[in-house]
């Protein structure tokens, strides 16, 4: 599809057929068309594609469109590297920026050529996401984590909020010399897929490269150019559901920091470490020096692949093509 046609092909096909879907306890209307976390509005905070729930919106096409990945490196020296979501007035305006801070008020900022995400006392932390859509490619971030104390969790994530597909690097204050890798398929929070990897350095002591190499057949996690984990699509076959549980959705790259040690959930506190040390003046900060996008699709999206088993043979067939602008 050409630049300017920002809707997914699926939205074009079905957008006029289904409207007024349930958004939490609300129903979105033409005047408040975009659904986010159970509420409807017309602002960027609801309509930007990394936060907008297509299924719950007035139509799937109510959510703003997005551009496909193009190769680039963001070093955060440019003021247009980051914008708070409250400052975006239109879809075209968002395209001037590399990353958007999706919470208001924002706890993300630019400082000395770095993207900085802050976690403050009695605060929600921060989440920053790219304004371009990603699928297959190699995505590298030069990061200094915030894992200086128990409970502090910082992450490098590729996620689609609509499908629930997600790839993770997580840095947990309870284990300062460790990085944890994980993935989720279609929103199923299967924590057994988490794999910890012990490092010979503290992730908060300096900047290191963390990378996802994502293809239709494999996902490889890298630290400083060295592979630490490989997930093969063929190994994710689920006999009961008849699908490969392998993330393949159009997604957005992002960074996050949050307080796991003060969670109401005991399992999260045990995982992150608890309690998180706090004084009213305490601030925990995650730093990102640069992000490099190496895009295997060159701004386009490949067909979603659905495996169809025939006896012991698996045949791959194409379903609806999800299309992004070139």
Q: Are 277 and 150 in contact (CB under 8 A)?
A: yes
Tell me whether residue 209 is exposed, middle or buried, using C-beta atoms within 10 angstroms of its C-beta: 0 to 12, 13 to 18, 19 or more.
middle
Residue bearing the bigger pLDDT, 290 or 70:
290
Distance CA 326, CA 324 (A): 6
Rounded average pLDDT over 180-186: 96
Q: Are 41 and 28 in contact (CB under 8 A)?
A: no
Q: For 90-143, how does the pLDDT look when each residue is reduced to its tens digit (9 = 90+)? A: 887 778 899 999 998 899 999 999 999 999 998 889 999 999 899 999 999 999
Residue 312 CB contacts under 8 Å (≥ 6 apart), including other chains: none
DSSP-derived letter for residue 192 is G
Distance CA 205, CA 209 (A): 13
Of 326, 302, 324, give the one whose Cα is nearest residue 8.
324
Percent of the chain with pLDDT over 70: 85
| 37-41, 232-236, 247-251, 308-312, range with the lowest pLDDT | 308-312
- pLDDT range class, residue 10, cuts 50, 70, 90: very low
Domains and CATH numbers, the chain: 9-62 (no CATH), 67-295 (2.60.120.200)
Report angle CA 82, 88, 92 to the nearest 5 degrees: 95
Q: Is the full-model pTM beyond 0.75?
A: yes
Given the residues 53, 165, 166, 259, the one annotated as active site: 166
Given the residues 98, 170, 213, 259, the one annotated as active site: 170
Annotated catalytic residue 170: yes
Q: Are 223 and 105 in contact (CB under 8 A)?
A: no
User: How far, in Å, are 128, 183, 238 from residue 246 at the CA level?
Assistant: 24, 9, 10
């Amino acid at each position: 599809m050409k630049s300017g046609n920002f809707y997914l092909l699926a939205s074009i096909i079905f957008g006029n057929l289904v409207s007024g879907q349930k958004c939490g306890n609300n129903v979105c209307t033409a005047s408040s068309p975009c659904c986010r976390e159970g509420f409807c509005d017309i602002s960027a905070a609801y309509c930007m594609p990394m936060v907008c729930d297509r299924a719950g919106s007035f139509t799937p096409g109510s959510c703003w469109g997005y551009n496909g990945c193009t190769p680039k490196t963001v070093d955060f020296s440019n003021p247009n590297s980051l914008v708070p979501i409250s400052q975006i007035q239109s879809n075209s305006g968002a395209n001037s920026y590399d990353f958007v801070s999706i919470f208001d008020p924002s706890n993300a900022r630019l400082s000395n050529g770095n993207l900085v995400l802050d976690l403050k006392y009695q605060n929600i932390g921060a989440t920053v996401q790219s304004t371009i859509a990603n699928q297959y490619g190699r995505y590298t971030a030069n990061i200094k984590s915030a894992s200086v104390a128990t409970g502090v969790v910082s992450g490098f994530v590729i996620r689609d909020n609509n499908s629930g597909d997600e790839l993770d690097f997580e840095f947990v204050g309870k284990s300062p010399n460790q990085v944890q890798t994980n993935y989720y398929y279609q929103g199923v929070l299967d924590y057994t897929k988490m794999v910890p990897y012990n490092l010979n350095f503290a992730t908060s002591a300096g900047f290191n490269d963390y990378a996802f190499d994502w293809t239709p057949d494999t996902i490889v996690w890298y630290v400083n150019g060295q592979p630490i984990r490989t997930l093969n699509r063929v190994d994710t076959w689920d006999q009961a559901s008849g699908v490969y549980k392998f993330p393949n959705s159009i997604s957005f790259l992002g960074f996050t920091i949050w307080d796991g040690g003060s969670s109401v959930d005991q399992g999260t506190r045990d995982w992150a470490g608890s309690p998180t040390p706090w004084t009213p003046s305490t601030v925990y900060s995650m730093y990102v020096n640069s992000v490099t996008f190496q895009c295997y699709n060159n701004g386009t999206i490949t067909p979603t692949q659905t495996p169809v088993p025939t006896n012991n043979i698996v045949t791959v067939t194409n379903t609806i093509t999800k299309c992004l602008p070139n």
